[in-house]
Structure 1
Amino acid sequence: MSKGIFQIIQEGEGLTVEFKRTIDSPFKIAKTLVSFANTAGGNLLVGVMDNGALLGVGSELRELEKLEKATRDLIEPQILIRIKSELLDGKKLLWIEVAESESKPHYAVNERGDRIIYIRVKDKSIPIPRLLLYGDGDTETEKLLSNKHVKTLITYLKETDSVTAKIFSKIINISEKRAERMLHDLAARQVLLKINRGKPEAFSLKWAK
């Protein structure tokens, strides 16, 4: 039994670990591989459920074909991955290792042919605009990102899952109305993601440096 893979499963999904029951499509897997390469590298385990239960892969060949299509046709520039076949409790699993890339950013091509940069934020693969990685966007967004209140918010959201206008207003000591306007502005500029459209509205970080 491989101690390495067992430990990864025990620790659960996170910044550098993702479980898949099966590879749904080359497009979806390209997104995950790219997000690992663009962030801190990671391990993709196929044949494992979200809760860590072992399912095993039905056809290793079918999974490998989808992986090959993803790495060959749907990731630009191409990335190198390491694929290992593991047997755990009588179940066959695929362990795909992705190193953090030295030639970021990598793009994943979606079904419509769009090229999108993905990064890992906690245990999710999140799309981001290039400008947030390299600051080569419009000056308004750059100005916003250098604002001390926004910097405080980003630091807070790296530690906490989400924020509301009420919490944000208390953190930086401004009116709730002004805090709400800032959160909406940041969401419009693709810095934040609106995760709760009810009341109160909640926002999470869409990117991380």
Structure 2
Amino acid sequence: MKASESKRNNTIFIFFNFSEKMLRLLAFFTVVGLGSSLRDDSCRDYLYSECKMPVPVSEVHALTIEECKATCDVFASFNQCSFFSFNNPAAVDENCKIFADETIEEFLAGCNLRGQPLKDSLGNCFYNGATCPGSCVNCNPCTNNPCKGYLEIDCQNVGNGNPEESQNNLPEEGCRQFCFNLMNSSKLTFLTFLKEEEVCNCFQSGERNCKTQILTFDTDITCVP
């Protein structure tokens, strides 16, 4: 084979390989959704705070969240990582914590503050109740979204700290209905609910400052914003 022909064949192979990877990446983000910079239109934009942290089965230092995920993968191989948390390595020494004694659902049930986006980039409301709210055309419960296992905790300054609408003495479902009903007229995109205080806040942005990222053991690292 001539050198020029060999070079041309290698170029075609590299181009095909690159194109295949790009198509896979595009397909992934089509399912996941790229999300907005305001953190208010994706299944990975949920947040929680004032949580009761379980005792970790391991605490290590990790320079990146990818390193922490790799540690979880090792523990998950013998059923000892249900989910893990990651903090800034410059702020916390043992910043990668592996948890196995609770499921993510049990852990989140112990969090006092819950925050969620109101609708996705297609206009579907984030709602997992029995009946989609009347102000919504369709609902997206995130049940089958590959990034539903990513969330953030220890959050402050949600929506720049300025709720557009607020209501006290509401249960959590009442809070969601309250924000959904005002979603269009007040241009709302995000809500937070304090369970013990029964305080409901609706925001025009999901921007926040969160100290801790959490992923379930089976959530892909590419879900991290």
If the TM-score is normalised by the length of the shorter chain, which range does it land in? under 0.3
Structure with the largest fraction of helix = 1
Mark the structure with the bigger radius of gyration: 2
**TM-score, normalised with respect to structure 2:** 0.22
**TM-score, normalised with respect to structure 1:** 0.23
